[in-house]
Amino acid sequence: MTGHERLDDAVRAWVRSGPEAASADFVERTLRPIPRMRQHRSWRIALERFAQPMAAVASAAAVAVLLVAGVGFLALRPGGVGGPTVSPSPSGSPRPSFEMTISGAGPATGTYRSDPAASVDRCVHAADGSWRYTYVSGQPPINLDLLVGSAAGAAGGSNQVALELEYDPGYVRFDPADLRGGDTAGRSTASVTVTPGPSSTTFTITAVTPDRSDGTDRDPVHVDMTVTCPS
């Protein structure tokens, strides 16, 4: 039985028992698998932290539904155009990977790599030809959402790439082709090269975008990134 299955069973048993309050220990054990990062005004729907025990049955049941969903909230994209739905990879299937270097004036420059034990590490190739990569890990804290447009590999389509990246203690986002909205013209520059292979597709991404760690655009940072998605 996986960790997520045990978590789901614990929440269901708690709801069936008809409690009027959740103990602090239960809330802590249930929230522990979800990586905790600072909140930004994000393109995604964020799950609010629950700092105090829940007192009412209705509130408790609503929270339980959210917790059973787990970190699936990270795959949601509000108001986007044509984004694929992210679903778990089959057990035993190859996992995606990435390597990313951030340089410039940001608060946390350096090189970051995917962790095989990450709680979320998924690539989805949509029917329209676009790709979506989502990654969440607590070691180090990284919350990454990448979208590569369906025309990225065609002539004139190299700017069809959008990234939202929250990493402790920084935050950047870019979307020069307006795939998702939220990035005004000229704010960022980015390009992606798509390299298909027999068993995987590799995306090589370069971008220059303002550091937005404090919620406002600051000095530019450089993002160099390679993502490999199993075919």
184 backbone dihedrals φ, ψ, rounded to 5°: -70, 155
pLDDT of residue 204: 98
Write down the pTM of the prediction.
Answer: 0.64
Residue range 61-75: mean pLDDT, rounded: 44
pLDDT of residue 202: 98
pLDDT of residue 6: 55
Euclidean distance between CA atoms 190 and 161, whole angstroms: 7
Residue range 11-29: mean pLDDT, rounded: 57
Residue range 211-215: mean pLDDT, rounded: 90
Query: Beta partners for 221?
Result: 104, 209
Euclidean distance between CA atoms 132 and 125, whole angstroms: 7
Q: What is the dihedral of CA 108, 114, 115, 117, to 10 degrees?
A: 130
Q: What is the dihedral of CA 69, 71, 75, 76, to 10 degrees?
A: 60
Share of the chain above pLDDT 70, in %: 60
Euclidean distance between CA atoms 97 and 146, whole angstroms: 12
